[in-house]
Amino acid sequence: MNAADFPILTTLIVIPAVAAIMCLFLRADGARLIALIATLFNLILGVWLWASYDPSYGQWQFQESVMLFGPVGWKLGIDGISLMLIMLSLFLMPICIGASWRAITDRVGEYMAAFLFMESLMIGVFAAQDLLLFYIFFEAGLIPMYLIIGIWGGKDRIYAAYKFFLYTLLGSVLMLIAMLWMIQQAGTADIPTLLNHDFPPEAQTWLWLAFFASFAVKMPMWPVHTWLPDAHVQAPTAGSVILAGVLLKMGGYGFLRFSLPMFPEASAQLIYLVFVLSMVAVVYTSLVALVQKDMKKLIAYSSVAHMAIVTVGLFAFNQQGIEGAIIVMLSHGLVSGALFLCVGVIYDRLHTREIDRYGGLSINMPKYALFFMLFTMASVGLPGTSGFVGEFLALAGTYQVSTWATLICATGIILGAGYMLYLYRRVAFGEQKNEDAAAMPDLNRRELWLLAPIAAVVLWMGVYPESFLRPIRADVSKIVERIDRAAPDGDSALLADDPAMKGYRVQRAEHGDKEGSAH
């Protein structure tokens, strides 16, 4: 049976919402079970969706459209890019529920409800085809996350939740104004129509900047990234997983869905703003990550550096750059999610995230050490893991536009290796200097079931990324086609037969003389 004959996107949104309402009225065990069943069932539906998706033509598939009041329509539909990000959300959700199974004991029903609502809203963001519907999903997604940090977070949760809220709100107000102007100007809120609408270039710049304000915070890009480390540190493990795994991807998705195809001229014009901020981000946050003492903070800063690779790739204006950026988004969603789970595993045992309190975990937790090593290597972009495919393609694309941006962003592979291996060494290698850390038991079966699926997908994406590239290929080429008219000239243009380069040719010795002297 094909999923197209069925309002599957609405179903994917409704199931978690219904389950969320049920959770609110259930006791802890019931809520956990309902949440797990709902998210797993949604994942199965997602697999069906992926299997029914036809990658040969891309946008738009599984479209649904019901006009609500006024100009707002319940319009859903996906292309390959949305599909992949929806799959990422659906895949991480049951893992988040599993990660919270024992760690959350307080107000479990409400906690599960917050996560389930968030799942609905995330799918809504990636599936919305109406500008205002998108905005509602995009903004409403903040609320459950805000609650998760603010209620189930750590010691300084209020400050972190407040910072998270302040940053994200500020950006989105500007975006809302821009959206209203666009609806006025184009006369429609329909995203597929807007994608082919040419806004006047002078207006594009302002619109682009308004969207940028919102997406740059969500990415997050330097210098509006400081909410992220605090939010991660305070959030419960599953909150961090979903924050790093999916919420950060909304910024990249926004650039891809709105900024690039709707404002190609402005994107080309402001390309160096994006490049410079990304270059600063890679070096800056990598160095900051190097000196962190808190595990979660370190991984949070590394996220900012990785997201900078996404932004340069997206603005490379070519197939490799954009496809690479999408793969980095998917890969980072999995890998940083897994790294936060790894932190969660030992946090649950020792209740501290301080790196120095651990050490020598390879001795008493060999299985844990193995998974942690795999995700560390994926994070530093070792070939054969998902991280490499994305980074390589994104940077290969960027190189065609700016060699400087490529060089500076590629230093991330050196610095990244530095801070991640330094972290790994302090946590898993060395002597067991802390008795309580040395007494921690290895992964239990539940934790194994959380980490093993992610590990499998990370390797799958590294060795055979075609499964993930095929669905997005047609849609990325549509975007590239659309923005091609504004594509900037690279700084590495090839000039054939340049007469200035004569002196570089190989000159062989006159063997005659030498032979003469030999006899």
Partner 1 sequence: MSSIEIIVFLPLLAAIVAGLGQRLIGAVAAKTLTTGALFISCILSWPIFLGFVSGDIQPYVMPVAQWVQSGGLSFNWELRVDSLTAVMLVVITTVSALVHLYSWGYMEEDPDQPRFFAYLSLFTFAMLMLVTANNLVQMFFGWEGVGLASYLLIGFWYKKPSANAAAIKAFVVNRVGDLGFMLGIFGIFLVFQTVSIPDILAAAPEQTGSSIGFLGLRLDTMSILCILLFIGAMGKSAQLGLHTWLPDAMEGPTPVSALIHAATMVTAGVFMVCRMSPLFEASQYALNVVIIVGATTAIFAATVGLVQNDIKRVIAYSTCSQLGYMFFAAGVGAYSAAMFHLFTHAFFKALLFLGAGSVIHAMHHEQDMRYYGALRKHIPITFWTMIAGTLAITGVGIVGLGGFAGFHSKDAIIEAAYAASNAANFGGYAFFIGVFAALLTSFYSWRLIFLTFFGKARWIGSEHIQHSVHKTPKQAGKDTTGGYHPHESPWTMLLPLALLTVGAVFSGYIFKNAFIYAEEGGTAFWAASTLYFNVDLIHAMHEVPLWVKLSSTVAMLTGLLVAYMMYIRSDDAPQKLAATFRPLYNFFYNKWYFDELYDLIFVKPAFWFGRILWKGGDEGTIDRFGPNGSAALIAFGSRMAVRLQSGYVYSYALVMLLGLVALISWMMVAAR
By CB under 8 A, the residues from 117 to 136 that bind partner 1 are 132, 136
Under DSSP, the state recorded for 431 is -
By the rule CB under 8 A, 28 interacts with partner 1: no
CB of 297 to partner 1, least distance (A): 9
Q: Does 502 bind partner 1 (CB under 8 A)?
A: yes
Q: Which of 25, 57, 449, 464 binds partner 1 (CB under 8 A)?
A: 464
Interface positions, 152-211, toward partner 1 (CB under 8 A):
158-159, 161-163, 165-167, 169, 176, 180, 183-184, 189
DSSP 79: -
Q: Restricting to residues 55-114, name those near partner 1 by CB under 8 A.
A: 69-72
Q: Could you tell me if 47 and 165 are in contact, meaning their C-beta atoms sit under 8 angstroms apart?
A: no
Number of Cβ atoms within 10 Å of the Cβ of 463: 13
CB of 22 or CB of 480, closer to partner 1: 480
- Residue closer to partner 1 (CB basis): 237 or 400: 400
Which of 27, 44, 57, 383 is close enough to bind partner 1 by CB under 8 A? 383
CB of 130 to partner 1, least distance (A): 12
Q: Is 505 in the site for partner 1 (CB under 8 A)?
A: yes
Interface of this chain with partner 1, residues 218 to 257, rule: CB under 8 A: 223-224, 226-227, 229
- Cβ count near 444 (within 10 Å): 11
Site for partner 1 in 393-422 (CB under 8 A): 393, 395-396, 399-400, 403-404, 406-407, 410-411, 413-415, 417-418, 421-422
Tokens read off for 186: 């184009």
Q: Which residues contact 128 (CB under 8 A, 6 or more apart)?
A: 75, 76, 134, 137, 191
Residue 218 in 3-state DSSP?
helix
- φ, ψ for residue 383, nearest 5 deg: -55, 140
Please give the full DSSP string across 235-296, using - where no structure is assigned.
S-HHHHHHIIIIIHHHHHHHIIIIIHHH-HHHHHHTHHHHHHHHHHHHHHHHHHHHT--BHH
Query: Tokens representing 108?
Result: 């479990």
Q: List CB contacts of 417: < 8 A, sequence separation 6 or more.
A: 380
> Least separation, in Å, of the C-beta of 239 and partner 1?
13
Nearer to partner 1, 449 or 464 (CB): 464
Residue 339 C-beta: closest distance to partner 1, Å: 18
Residues 123 and 86 sit within 8 Å (Cβ to Cβ)? yes
8 or 175: CB nearest partner 1 = 175
Nearest-CA neighbor of 238 among 354, 131, 94, 141? 94
Owner of token pair 């301080």? 354
Judged by beta carbon, residue 54 or residue 156, the one nearer partner 1 is 156
Shorter beta-carbon distance to partner 1: residue 16 or 321: 321
Which of residues 14, 33, 209, 287 is near partner 1 by CB under 8 A? 287
Could you say which residues in the range 296-315 bind partner 1, by CB under 8 A? none
